[in-house]
Structure 1
Amino acid sequence: MISFKDITFIYDGRPLMSHFSETIHAGEKVVICGASGTGKSTLLNSIAGLVRPDNGEVWVNGQLLTGDTITEIRRLTAWVPQEFTLPYDRVEEWIFAPFRLRQNRNKAPSVHMVLDIFELLGLEQEVYAKRLIEISGGQRQRVMIAIAVLLNKSILLLDEPTSALDPDAIEKLIAFLRSCKNMTMLAVSHDDRFIHAFDRYIKIG
Structure 2
Amino acid sequence: MNWEPLRLTFELALTTTLVLLVVSVPLAFWLSKTTSRIKPVIETLVSMPLVLPPTVLGFYFLLAFSPNNAFGSWINEWLGIQLVFSFGGLVVASVIYSLPFMVQPIQAGLTSLPPSLSEAAATMGKSGVTQLFRVLLPNIRKSLLTGIVLAFAHTVGEFGVVLMIGGNIPGETRVASIAIYDEVESLNYVAANSYSLILFALTFALLLLVYLLNGGYLKRFWKW
In terms of fraction of residues, the more strand-rich structure is 1
Confirm or deny a common fold (TM above 0.5). Answer: no
The structure that has the greater radius of gyration is 2
TM bracket (short chain)? under 0.3
Higher helix share: 2
- Per the normalisation by structure 1, the TM-score is 0.25
With structure 2 as the length reference, what TM-score do the two structures score?
0.23
